[in-house]
Structure formats: structure tokens, C-alpha cells
Structure 1
Amino acid sequence: MSELVDFNEGCAKSPVDGLNPMEPESSLERPSGQDIVPLEASTVIPTVPMELWQRVFTLATRDVGEEAYHKTLFSFRNVSRFWNNAALGECHLWCRLPRIILSNSLSDEDYAAIKQRLILCLERGGSLPISFTFDYQRREEPISLSFDNQYYRHRKEEDLREAFKALEILTGVSDRWEDVNFLIPDDLLVALAPVRGRLASLSRMSYQRRLSLIPCPWGRKTGVSCFVDAPKLKEVTIDTLTVCFPDRDDGASVMFDLPWKQLEVVNAIVCQEDSYMAIINNSGRWLRSLKYQSIQVTTFSSTMINIQSLSTLCLWSEGPPRLLCAHLQCLTLPALEDLDIGGLFETNYDLYPSILLLLRHSNCSLRKLAVDRTSDVSEQLESFVEILALSPRLTHLDIGHLDAFVWSRLELSPSNQLVPELQMITLRGRLAGDLTRNLLPDPFPFMNMVHTRTDGGRPHSHQQDGTVPLIRRLREVRLVGDDRRSRSDQARLYEASERWLRDGRFDIDLSKMIAKWEPSLREDFYPLRQHSTRFQNVHLRLGMNQVMLELEGLDVRDRDTRMLIRLGVIHFLHAISQRPEGCIPGDDIYNFRTRALQLCQKWKLYLLQDFRSSPYRWSYLEDGLFRLQYIDPSSARSEDEDWVDILGCNNQEALGISRGVGPWFW
């Protein structure tokens, strides 16, 4: 018997990504049996009791995330047969199921393999509580294959039946559910009905709606009550608004009936429903966090509501803002620390006076405050400043445009210690089409405020005038914009900030060259689905090649390469190098991905040197999102950390960690 059968426990040899057989066999790179046996014979592994190894495995995987959990477990099993048997015999290691991924592109053999492995994994966990994610990923089909096509309708019905069978396996052990996550179309919700009254262990539930498999009448409403009797349910996340292929939205909605009085955490992103008042009116004394977003909240309570334990309130709505303001004034939340209020309001509304009344009623102090960008701070300055005065422990501030006078009020000094612990500011520009306000702040007052909250970065041991020493904690400012006008404003801000810092290295010529390259890097290398004809556009591909040639001819040795970072050139080059094959027009001829990667590596030394030359470091995160960081010169930052900031991506992308291998191995 081969070692593959040992690991697969008699299942088919198709490798699995989650519980989805999609990865090629060769990519798993399993060691041969000849490699395993000498390793086992030459180590002390068998001399340690199996029970001890099982405890070690349990502790080693306790804090590992979902994506890496089963990959880590497989790595342990792959060391030796002794470790493999130890892992298979420890039920606690099999309480976290691999991600169950189904789709309308799977064959009957795939479905059979997934169900077989699901049953095997449930058996390995014994009778212990389990957590899992059930994900039905509907693959988009050509528009020409309409719902009226009888063949494809029959295939959808077959897929639906297979998905029902997989769900039946899970509902058969619903008494073991502890933490469950469903990403499914509402066609499959009926399969959950049998679990009502059989959820003795369920503590956390998450649901995200997928678009219906079978066409349904516009605006269909589906009720879900199977979780209402779960005695231990504490945390719920519901997303009925975010669906795949929103251009084919069917207007349907899903309504959940839940045990509101016992819930501690509620996260809801909903559409065409008014469940907010049901949550507020029925919430119990345990509710700690409520995050609610809806495009149609038509009613808000005007009666006084007191929720003693609520520390986080995030309320986002397209409903009438005057009703929202009145509702905020009726709330009493003594434990409130995190407040996020916003929506798509057509005009400016006075949210800050309503928030101020809420804080006064509640006698609370905020740590995080986020207010919609349409609420102009400069027109409500008195209320805004008083809110900050009532929140001396505020660390995060997320607001709309501020004028020069407001920035001066935020300067930190011995005589003005407003929110001294502020660590992060997010400044959101005007909405698209609103030309009445600048997107980015007035550079000199803005940089002066940043300097007063960062310079030195450490408390002084004493001050000659005897005042309390300042603790400057600001570490990051994010600037969020919506339209392309932000990019010219951004260059102006960079130039002014360089002059303010007396650096004198702002390279106006390079700025002009970047302005010519940037549209192509942003748009031509990222064709949208509706622009697929660009792949046949010879003139476009020649232009893209010309941009790449000009970049390759750029001599950065005597340039300030920070300009390439700040205006997104490095970010786009890195993103181009990471794109899948066949996604960039002309890449098969001009090797754009390889050349972009080579440019990043060629310039890396100069980029790092210039990036580290100042403690004030600008970086480009994505279109319309820029960041200014203050890095204390005494901090010990690694080259990898700075390179991540330069590329404008997360650690996993920047360090090249492979994401091609799935989290589950058999």
C-alpha cells in the first residue's frame, strides 16, 4: 500500500483545496515512503508517548488561522507515520473542518469525493463540537447562457440537489455545531430547517447571501428561524447585501429571527429590511457590539433607549438623516467607546451636535470616532471640539474634510492637549462630483499638526516651564479620496510637505513623468471585463510597452525615488508582477509581469535608502488611499517591514509567501 493511501485513508487520490478537489497532484510534493521511514528510524519521535505529541499538536495549532490550520496539521502528519497516527487519533485536532467549497462547476465525482472526506473528518472528531465554513461559489457564466436555457437550468437543479446532500451531512450532526459560517444562496436555506431545536453547542453563526441558483420572483423574501432556539448563541454576522455578480441582483431579501436578548455581538449588512429596531428594542443586557449597515432604514426609534453594556456602535444607513440624528439623541450608552456613524446623505447634516448629546446622556468617553464625510466639521466646530474634549482617551479619528483652522485646533502643545493619545487619523475627501471642497488638507497647517503630535515621539523627562510633559503618539494618517482630481492635489501636498520639512528634494520633472505614466499603469494593465477588446488592441499594447521602456530607462541614482513610492508607481509595478498569466494585454509578447518585477528589484536598494531618509514616510496603498507614517528613528524596523510599506501591500504578498496551495491536504 502506498503512502498516499495511508494519508488519504482510502479516499480518492484527488488532492483537495478546502474540500474542493482543484489542486494538481504534483503541487503537493509529498515525500516518498522511502523518505519517511529513515526519518522515523533516525529520530527520537517514537520514544515520546503519543499522548504527549497529541498535546503538542493541539497547542501548536491553537492560534493558527483557518487558511493555514490544515496545512499546518498536514505538515505534522507528513513528518513520520508515528506523528501521522498521533494526529489521526486526537479528536480535538479535527474539530475545525477544512473549508467546504462547492460550486456549479464540479463534477459528480468531485461531489462524491467531498462528501466522503467530510464524513471521514466528522468521524475523526468524535462527538466534540465542530466549526466549519460552507461556501457555495457560483461560477459566473456567459450572459448568452440565460436562465431560459433548459440544459443549464437542469444543471443548476442538479447542483442544488448535490449541495443539499452535502448540507444534510452537516445538519445530521447539528448538535455539535459551535462556530459555523454559511456562504450560500437562499435556495439552500431550507436545508437548514431541520436544525431548529438541535443547536445545543452553537455560540457563533455567520451568513453571507449568494445569488440564487434558480430564478425567483423579484423581491422574494425568505424567513430563517432555525437559529432562534440556540441557547448558547452569542455572536451573529449576517450579510444579505453583498452578493456575487451584483449586476444580476434579484431584489430578494433574507429575514432572520434570532434570540436577540442573549446576543453579545451583532454584525448586520442588510438590504430592504428594517431589522435595526428589532435588534435595538429586543437587545438584552449582554449586547456589547452592534454594527449595522442598511440601504433602507425607514424607521428609527424616537423613544429613550438605554443599553448598559454596548461599547461599539456602528450605524450606516441611506435612510433620512434627520431621523438618524433624532435617534442618536435618544440613546443612552454608558459603556460606549467605539462610535461609527455614516451613510449616503445627499446634503450636509449636523451629526456632531447629535453625537455630543449622545455622549452627554451616556456620560461616556470614546476611544474611536468615525463620522460620515458629508458632515462638515468646519460648520459644526464647536460640537466637534467638545466631543474631543469629552474623549481624552481617543486613539482613532475618522472624519471628513478639515480646513486650516480646524487643523490648528488639533495641534498639540502644553496649552492645548486635546486628545493627547491620538494615534491614527483617517481623512476622507469629498464625494465624487462635489467640487465645493478640496480633497486633501491645506498642506502647511496639516503638516504642522502632524509635527506637533509626532516630533520626538517620546515623553520628555522634564520641562523647564513645569508643565506636564507631552506624549506624542500619532503614528499614521490616511487620506481617502474618491476621484482622480485627488492625484494632482496629492502631488501638491507632497511638494508642500517637502518644503515644510526643508528637505528641498521635490523632483518636479519626475513628477511630470509619473503623471504621464500613471494612467497607463492604472488602467491599461488592468482591463475590466467589459473592456476585453483591449487584448486585441495593437496600438494599446505598443503604448504599454513604451511606458515600460521609459521606466526601464529611468536612472534613479540621482533621483528622489520617494516620488515613485508616493504616487503609486512602485505599487502598480508590484501589482502587475503578481497578476495571473493571461490577465494583462500583450504580456505574452512583451513579458510585462517579469519586467515589472525586475524593475522593483533593480530599484530596491535606492527605494529603501530614500524611504528611510525621513521619519515622515508617505506610501500609496491603493487607488485613492494614501498613508503618512511617522516612524521613530530609534525604532528597530526590518528591511522587510519597510519594503512592505514601499510596495503598499500586506506582508504575505510582499514576502512572496505561496498562496497557490490550499489549506487542506489528504
Structure 2
Amino acid sequence: MVGMFTPEPLPDDVLQQVFLFSCFNACGYHDDVHLRRVCSVNQQWRRAAISYCALWTDLHLIDFENKSTESMRRATKRMQMYLGRSGTVLPISFGFTASTRNPADETPKEWTPVRKALGILIDEHPRWHIVSLNLPSSGMQQLQKVGGPLPYLRYLDVITPVAFVPSSESEQDSGLNGFVDAPNLRVLSYESKSGAIPWHARSLARLPLSQLEYIESVSYNDRGLYRDILESAALNIEQIVITSHLNDAIPPDLTSTYNLPHLTYLKLYADEFKWDIATHLKNITLPSLRHLEVRCGIPYPTSQMYRGILRLIVNSHCPQLVHLACSSSTDDPQALIEILDLCHRSLRLLDINFPNDVVNLNILTFGRFRYSYERKEVPGLQTLIFRARRNFSITSTQTEALAQMIRTRFAIYVGNYSIPCGERPALREVIFVWSSGSHIRSDIAPKLSGYSYDHSPQEDQAWRDVDSQIRDEFLANDHPRRAFFSTALMQRFDRLLRELESLDLENIDMGTHKLMAHGFPTFLRLLGEKKAGSIPGDNVWGFRRRARQLLDRWKPFLLYDARRFRWCYYLGGILAFRFGTFWGGRRLSEEKLFQEIASKGCD
């Protein structure tokens, strides 16, 4: 790129190859900043770039979210410039975002630029290649104008904030009927963010499902999409992701057998399965499967889930399963043992409901053989996720078994060098997903934070038993007006901070693991980041300032303890226990480690 600094009269074809190399990265993504710089070097470079259509086929993101009329006009003009310079033959790729625009709430002057820009793109639909659309309902109506073949279309991602659009047909559809004739479509993603009766899956069934390699659907109701995929004999499908509130369209016969030889990733999530998903799993064959996730918010119909997954693994001969996540209303220790035996070399993540008794916890305990034959230990397991239903609470027996399981899988990894390296447990984190933050603070945090999980004894812990409700009130986004005149509330806020400020962490025998487990670093970080005027009494008591100062004072002591093991508390009822400072093949810096402790960016 010497010519970038001392432009030389190079042949146009040489320049164009240089432009192509500099304006697209290794993944094929376009960098319009480099393209603008290329065009500004001199007249020859500009002429060579403009005349090379391939440089203009990846359009700059067309973002109309919360934009002024003038901004939308400029974006449309830039889009037309790209389209004009890309010619009339080459395939084009683009992203169009306007989901928050609603013609019912806007003047014609405000809505016209959106309709005009989308109309221009629709006129170019025979050239569509990689397309991402985030549209309002009126945009979905306009999308129905797409018709005729789409010979280049390979990737289609559609997001709409409504579940359905009006149609002239007897049933409402998603507006994707125009994409039926897309012979090269391989990746399809459709998400309807809201709505009570989304019928979009009926329309997706008309799309060329048999040729897809990846399909993702996020909706209120599956409406038979999964069944349609199975019945379409989509032998080339590699990934299926279906997330819905309800999944009530069952295959015609639960005992029907299906074989998807190339499927590596299967995720089925519903708040409630209306059909016996476990029986269905017993009758599908997925020899290439590496990621299996079958979860539901209400696991009552899934009492046979472990048996169904076991039969799937046996039928598929897929010992390379890496990720296993499932929901089950009951435990099945024998089935779990057999699943772990079959996948003991490959399994890296296990995501299950928290066991109802200690048997399954004992099964996961490293080095403890509770059965007559020697079972596999799954040494490669790196992540364990336990989920609990509402009002669930662990018992003292479960607490001891859980702590023992964690200790064996972490401590042996560090201290027992008599075990061959390839057979040592590799567990790096245990994640607890409870129904709420207050629930996990009152259940898991006080019961597990008192244990030591390495070879060092657990020192006295700097922790005070405070009312978790006051923490929630402190961090509330919208305080009622009367709260800003409540002296009693402000005094409660002040009392909480004074209790935390009174902790003497400079005492070398005072540990901070309980502070982490109860989420106090996260609490202080969130409190310090609140906007001015958002907390009652902050202008007098200085709550935000005191929170920032206290967290800075705690930081070196938290980092010291976090190198042993750490608790990372996230909002929404998630608590992660992590061990080790090597992640992703490199050692965590102090800043990264502190971000984990304070859960920054992960709430």
C-alpha cells in the first residue's frame, strides 16, 4: 500500500485488487471507512474504485431507528449511491433497521423516507445475497411485494416487533411468501418479538426448508415449524434453533423415526411443551450432534427427559456431544450415569435442573464411586449450570453434597498431581440460575459462601446480614415521588452503606468471598453508576459517591481473594462460581478479573 502515501500511476486492475483486499476483512465484511479513504487519495484512485462494482455490493448499514428526516434522507442517498455503483448484476448485501418506526404515530413526512428506502431495496430483490431486516408491521406488509426468483439469496434474517401482518389469504402469515423461490437460501432466521397469536410458522413452512443449513425461529408459538422441518427431509440441516412461549404442534406420530445426518446443533426451548418431547427424542437419530439443548420453563411434562436423551445418544452413536442442556421435573440417576459414561470424553458443559436429592450431586462428585462398576468421571467437564424453579430451596444435605462436588472438581485440579493430566477434572465454573436475585441471595449465597474450595482454610469472612429488599429499593429505576420526601427511606439507605463502610478489610485474616457471593461488589458498582437525581437523598447523603469510593477501597482485597476462587453475582438471579485466572488460553488481567467480580457488562 505504498501508493496510499505516495500515489503512483498503477494500472486500474491492480488498484482494484488492492482496494478489494483493503476494504473487506477475512470474513468478507465490508469496511466503508477504508473505501472512503481509498476514494480520497487522488482522481485515479477514485475513478478506479467507482468503476469497480464489486467494491459497492456490501451496503453500509441502513439505520432509521430514532433518526431525523434529514438523517434518513442522507442515508437513503448513500444507499442509492452504493446501488448505482454496484451495477445491475452482482449480488448485494445489506442490513436495514427501522423496527421502532410506526406510521400510525408519525406524520407522512416522517414515515415516507422509511417506505421509500425499503421500496428501493425491494426493487433490487433479485440481487439480494445476505440480507438482515428489522422491520415494523407496515414494513412487513411492504415486504410482501417481493416476488419472483431470488437466485443469489443465501442468508435471510428478519426481525419484526409484531407477530403477524394482514394477508389476503384465509390465514395470517409472516409476509415471507415472496421468498419461496430462493434456490440458494441456506440460512434463515425469523424473530417476532411480541404478539399473542403469531402465525408466521405456517408461512415458513412454504419456504424451501429442505435446502436449509441453519434455521432459527423466535416467536410466541412454534405452530409446527419443528415438525415441518422434520417432515421436509432436510438432510443438509446443520443447526436448528427454535425458541417459543408455546410449542404445541406435535409431529403426527411421536414414534415416527427421523434421521438428520448433518445436524450438529439442536436447541428447542419453550415455556411449555404441549407434547411428549422425551418420547420424540427416543426416535430421532442425529449422528453428528455436538450441541443438544431441550429446555422448558415448566418441566412437568418432561419427567422422562433423561431417558429420552439417553436413547437419542445410543441411537445416534454420537459420543462427541459437547454441550448438553435439558429440563426435567424428576431425577433419573441411572440414566444420567449412562449419559455421562457415553459422553465422558467430549462433554464440556452440562446444564440441568438442580437435583431433587443428593444422588445426582454424588454422581458428579469426582473420585466417588457409588455403584458396583467403575464409571467414567467426565474429566473434561468445564461448566456446570444448575437451574431452580420458583420457591425452590436447597437443604442442608444438598448444600454439603454440592460443596463437596465443587471442592473435588476444583481442588483436585490444582493439588493432586498423582492423577494423569488428561484425567484431572477441568471444571472452571458453576453457574446457578434461580428465579430472582433476592431468591439466590437468600438461598445459595449464604449456604455455599462459607466453604473453602481450595487447599487454604476459609478465614473469617467480612459480611453483614442485611435486608436484601433495601438493596432492591436502592437500585430501583423509578422511585415514586413520595420516596424523595421520605426521611426514613434515606436513613435506611444510609444505614446500609454505613454497615458496609464499617467492614475492616485491611485485617489480613478477613476474607471477601461472602461479599462476592452476596453480590455486594455488583451492588456498589451499579449504585455508583446511577444517574444524578435518581436516588432519593443522594444530593445530601452522597450515596453514589460513597459507593464508588467504597468499591475502590475494596478492590485490592477482592482481587487478592479472587485469584483463589470468586463469586460473580449478576442481576436476575444468576450467581457464578469461578476458579482460576486462565481463561481462553491467557491469564486474566486485574481489570478483567475485577470486571468479573463486579459483573460489569453482564447484568
Partner residue in 2 for 1:448: 404
Contact 1:525 1:585 in 2 (8 A): no
Question: Does the 8 Å contact 2:165/2:174 carry over to 1?
Answer: no
Matched, 1:119 2:80: yes
1:355 aligns with 2:355: no
- Offset of residue 490 of structure 1: 2.2
> What amino acid is the match of 2:446?
R
CA displacement 1:504-529 (0-9 Å, x = unmatched): 3242xx4325x24x43333332325x
Kept in 1, the 8 Å contact 2:19–2:38? The answer is no
Question: For 2:17 and 2:329, how far apart are their aligned partners in 1?
Answer: 60
The amino acid that maps onto 1:324 is: I
Deviation at 1:602, TM superposition (A): 3.3
- The superposition leaves residues 265-299 of structure 1 with CA deviations (integer Å, 9 ceiling, x where unpaired) of 11112224222211211142101111112314232
For 2:29 and 2:397, the matched residues in 1 are separated by 39
Assess, with a 3 A threshold, how the Cα gap between structure 1 residues 594 and 206 changes in structure 2: closer, same or farther.
Answer: farther
Structure 2 residue aligned with 1:279: 229
2:361 is paired with a residue whose SS is helix
> Kindly tell me: are residues 647 and 534 of structure 1, through their superposed partners in 2, closer, same or farther at Cα, counting changes over 3 Å?
farther
How far residue 153 of structure 1 moved from its aligned partner, in angstroms, is: 4.0
User: Aligned pair 1:511/2:463, yes or no?
Assistant: yes
Structure 2 residue aligned with 1:22: none
Question: In the TM superposition, what whole-angstrom CA distance separates every residue of 1:440-468 from its partner, at most 9, and x where no partner exists?
Answer: 983333233233333354898876xxx89
Q: 1:122 to 1:139 in 2, by over 3 A?
A: closer
Q: Partner of 2:186 in structure 1?
A: 234
Are 1:130 and 2:92 counterparts? yes
Letter in 1 for 2:118: L
Tell me the distance in 2 between the aligned counterparts of 1:197 and 1:412: 60
Q: Distance in 1 between matches of 2:397 and 2:79?
A: 55
Measured against aligned partners, the alpha-carbon deviations of 1:304-350 in whole angstroms (never above 9, x if no partner) come to 22222112221223555552222222212222221111223363622
Q: SS state of the match for residue 216, structure 2?
A: strand
Rate the CA distance shift 1:617–1:553 in 2: closer, same or farther, 3 A: closer
| Gapped regions of structure 1 (runs ≥ 5) | 1-39, 141-151, 244-248, 654-666
The residue number in structure 1 matching 2:505 is 556
Q: Residue 462 of structure 1 contacts residue 469 of structure 1 at CA under 8 Å; is this kept in 2?
A: no
| Identical columns (%) | 24
For residue 411 of structure 2, give the secondary structure of its aligned residue in structure 1: coil
In the superposition, relative to structure 1, how do residues 568 and 65 fare at CA in structure 2: closer, same or farther (>3 Å)? farther
Q: Rate the CA distance shift 1:331–1:399 in 2: closer, same or farther, 3 A.
A: same
Match of 2:371 in 1: none
The aligned counterpart of 2:354 is 401
1:163 alignment counterpart: 114
Among candidates 248, 258, 264, match of residue 311 of structure 1: 264
1:526 to 476, 479, 482: 476
Partner of 1:30: none
Contact 1:156 1:213 in 2 (8 A): no
List runs of 5+ in structure 2 lacking aligned partners. 369-373
Paired AA for residue 54 in structure 1: F
Q: Which residue of 2 aligns with 1:490?
A: 444
Q: Which has the higher contact order (CA 8 A, sep 6+)?
A: 1
Match of 1:472 in 2: 425
Cα distance between partner residues in 2 of 1:622 and 1:64? 37
TM-superposed CA distance for 1:81, in Å, is 4.9
Residue equivalent to 1:388:
340
> 1:574–1:647: 8 Å Cα contact kept in structure 2?
yes
TM-score (norm 2): 0.82
Contact 1:175–1:201 under 8 Å retained in 2: yes
Number of aligned residues: 571
Match of 1:203 in 2: 154
In 1, Cα distance between equivalents of 2:34 and 2:540? 42
* Corresponding residue number in structure 1 for 2:279: 326
Q: Shift in Å at residue 631 of structure 1? A: 0.8
Quote the residue 2:390 is aligned against: 432
Q: Which residue of 2 aligns with 1:57?
A: 22
> Which residue identity lines up with residue 399 of structure 2 in the other structure?
P
Sort the Cα spacing of 1:109 and 1:204 in 2 relative to 1 into closer, same or farther, 3 A.
Answer: same
RMSD: 4.0
Normalized against structure 1, the TM-score is what? 0.75
User: How many angstroms apart in 2 are the aligned matches of 1:320 and 1:52?
Assistant: 54
Per the TM alignment, residue 159 of structure 1 is displaced from its structure 2 partner at its CA by 5.0
Task: Please list, as runs of the form range in 1=range in 2, the aligned pairs for 1:632-647 lying within 5 A after superposition.
Answer: 636-647=587-598
CA shift at 1:547, angstroms?
A: 3.8
Which SS does the other structure have where 1:375 is aligned?
coil
Deviations, residues 35-79 of structure 1 (Å, cap 9, x unaligned): xxxxx99x94546966576355335x445989xx56x649x8499
- For 1:640 and 1:111, the matched residues in 2 are separated by 40
User: Over residues 401-445 of structure 1, what are the superposed CA-to-partner deviations in whole Å (9 max), with x where a residue is unaligned?
Assistant: 12322222223339543322211111111x213x4x528983333
| Post-superposition offset of 1:376 | 2.4
Offset at 1:258?
1.3
Match of 2:571 among 609, 614, 622: 622
Distance 1:439 1:301, change over 3 A: farther
Query: For residues 132 and 293 of structure 1, do their structure 2 counterparts lie closer, same or farther at Cα, with a shift above 3 Å needed?
Result: same
Q: Secondary structure of the equivalent of 2:144?
A: helix
Hey, what's the Cα distance between the residues in 2 that align with 1:405 and 1:412?
13
Mapping of residues 564-643 of structure 1, within 5 Å: 564-579=515-530, 583-585=534-536, 592-612=543-563, 614=564, 616-631=565-580, 636-643=587-594
Letter in 1 for 2:406: V
Q: Is the alpha carbon distance of 1:239 and 1:470 closer, same or farther for their aligned partners in structure 2, counting shifts above 3 Å?
A: same
Residue 323 of structure 2 aligns with which residue? 368
Instruction: Give the superposition deviation at 1:562.
Output: 3.2
CA-CA distance at 1:228 after TM superposition? 1.3
Contact kept, 8 Å, 1:99 with 1:133, in 2: the verdict is yes
Contact 2:326 2:352 in 1 (8 A): yes
SS of residue in 2 equivalent to 1:170? helix
- Residue 321 and residue 131 in structure 1: after superposition, are their counterparts in 2 closer, same or farther (change >3 A)? same
**2:382 is matched with which residue?**
423
Distance 1:316 1:486 in 2: 23
Q: Secondary structure at the match of 1:623?
A: coil
Which region of structure 1 is more displaced relative to structure 2, 308-317 or 493-502? 493-502
Contact 2:294-2:326 at 8 Å conserved across structures: yes
Offset, 1:397: 0.3
> 2:78 is matched by which residue type in structure 1?
R
- SS of 1:271's equivalent in the other structure is strand
User: Which of 209, 217, 238 pairs up with 1:268?
Assistant: 217
Bigger shift: residues 581-590 or 477-486: 581-590
Q: Secondary structure at the match of 1:299?
A: coil
Residues in 2 aligned to 1:286 and 1:197: alpha-carbon distance in whole angstroms: 25
